[in-house]
Amino acid sequence: MNRWLSASLLLICSNSPVLASEDLLGQWRGTFYCNRTLDLKLTLSINESNNGQLKGVFEYSAGLKGRASYNVTGTVTPTGSFQITPGSWIMHPTGFRAVSLHGQVGQSGSKRVIDGKLPECDPGGFRAFLLPPAEALPPPLAMPSDTDGQIKEVRDRLRKYMQTRESGQISWNRLERAADAIRVDRQIRDLLLAEIREGQANVKADAIIAELASGTTRFPTGMGQAIRAYDRANKSDWPNEVKLRVYEACKKRLDEVFRPVLTKVGASAASLPNNLDGLALARAALAPVEAYRAFLEHAFGSLDPENLLAPMWQKIAELESNPAIAAEFREAFAEARRQPDPRAATENVIRNVLGDRSKSAALIAIAAEGRRQAALAEVVVMSTTGAEDGSEPTANDMALHMQSVIEALNATFAAGRCNPGDKLTVFDMTRCELGELEVRLKKVIKTKCVAEAQGGQYVCNFDQHSIVVSFRTGELVTGHTGVAGNFPGGRMEGPQKARFVRRAFGGWDSSSLNPG
Residue 138 located in a structural domain: no
Mean pLDDT confidence for 127-150: 62
**Number of CB atoms found within 10 A of residue 116's CB:** 24
What CATH number is attached to the domain comprising 84?
A: 2.40.128.20
Same domain membership, residue 508 and residue 383: yes
Q: What is the pLDDT of residues 250-264, one digit of tens each?
A: 989 999 999 999 999
Same domain membership, residue 105 and residue 17: yes
Q: Is the predicted pLDDT of residue 210 greater than 80, yes or no?
A: yes
Same domain membership, residue 397 and residue 459: yes
Q: What does the radius of gyration of the chain's CA atoms come to, in whole angstroms?
A: 33
Give percent above pLDDT 90 in the chain. Answer: 47
Mean pLDDT confidence for 173-196: 87
Written in H, E and C, the secondary structure of 145-200 is CCCCCHHHHHHHHHHHHHHHCCCCHHHHHHHHHHHHCCCCCHHHHHHHHHHHHHHH
Q: How far apart are CA 206 and CA 476, in angstroms?
A: 52
Q: Which domain holds residue 90?
A: 7-130
Q: What is the pLDDT of residue 81?
A: 87
Same domain membership, residue 386 and residue 507: yes
Q: Is residue 91 classed exposed, middle or buried when 0-12, 13-18 and 19+ CB atoms within 10 A define those classes?
A: buried
Same domain membership, residue 358 and residue 308: no
Residue type, 58: F
Q: Is the predicted pLDDT of residue 389 greater than 80, yes or no?
A: no
Q: What is the pLDDT of residue 297?
A: 81
Q: How far apart are CA 230 and CA 426, in angstroms?
A: 34
Q: How far apart are CA 320 and CA 507, in angstroms?
A: 30
Q: What is the mean pLDDT of the chain?
A: 85
Q: What is the pLDDT of residue 240?
A: 80
1-10, 311-320, 337-346: lowest mean pLDDT where? Answer: 1-10
**Higher per-residue confidence, 299 vs 343:** 343
Same domain membership, residue 386 and residue 502: yes
Residue 424 located in a structural domain: no
Mean pLDDT confidence for 400-429: 83
| Count of domains observed in the chain | 5
Residue 143 located in a structural domain: no
Strand partners, 191: none
Same domain membership, residue 158 and residue 257: no
- The answer to whether 349 and 371 have CB atoms below 8 angstroms apart is no
Ranges 61-70, 474-483, 493-502, most confident: 493-502
499 pLDDT band (50/70/90 cuts)?
very high
Same domain membership, residue 433 and residue 365: no
18 pLDDT band (50/70/90 cuts)?
very low
Q: What is the pLDDT of residue 66?
A: 60
Written in H, E and C, the secondary structure of 406-448 is HHHHHHHHHHCCCCCCCCCCHHHHHHHHHHCEEEEEEEEEEEE
Q: Is residue 275 classed exposed, middle or buried when 0-12, 13-18 and 19+ CB atoms within 10 A define those classes?
A: middle
Q: What is the pLDDT of residue 369?
A: 95
The DSSP element (H or E) to which 311 belongs, if any, is helix 310-320
Mean pLDDT confidence for 503-515: 91
Q: Is 333 helix (H, G, I), strand (E, B) or coil?
A: helix
Residue type, 233: A
Q: Against a cut of 0.85, is the pTM above it? A: no
Residue 23 located in a structural domain: yes
51 pLDDT band (50/70/90 cuts)?
confident
145-154, 161-170, 346-355, 413-422: lowest mean pLDDT where? Answer: 145-154
Q: How far apart are CA 177 and CA 192, in angstroms?
A: 11
Residue 145 located in a structural domain: no
Q: What is the pLDDT of residues 60-99, one digit of tens each?
A: 876 545 678 889 998 888 888 899 999 888 877 766 778 8
Q: Is the predicted pLDDT of residue 9 greater than 50, yes or no?
A: no
20-24, 107-111, 441-445, 506-510: lowest mean pLDDT where? Answer: 20-24
Q: How far apart are CA 260 and CA 255, in angstroms?
A: 9
Same domain membership, residue 225 and residue 307: yes
Residue 71 located in a structural domain: yes
Mean pLDDT confidence for 374-392: 88
Contacts of 305 (CB under 8 A, 6+ apart): none
Same domain membership, residue 265 and residue 175: no
5 pLDDT band (50/70/90 cuts)?
very low
In total, the chain counts a number of residues equal to 516
Mean pLDDT confidence for 486-510: 89
Contacts of 515 (CB under 8 A, 6+ apart): 461, 488, 489, 494, 495, 496, 497
Residue type, 515: P
Mean pLDDT confidence for 32-49: 79
Mean pLDDT confidence for 132-145: 52
The stretches of 165-309 forming alpha helices (DSSP H) are 169-180, 186-213, 221-234, 240-268, 276-290, 293-300
Q: What is the pLDDT of residue 36?
A: 64
Q: How many angstroms from the chain centroid is the CA of residue 374?
A: 31
Same domain membership, residue 86 and residue 157: no
Q: How far apart are CA 468 and CA 347, in angstroms?
A: 19
Q: What is the pLDDT of residue 17?
A: 42
Residue 136 located in a structural domain: no
Same domain membership, residue 337 and residue 258: no
Residue 186 located in a structural domain: yes
42 pLDDT band (50/70/90 cuts)?
confident
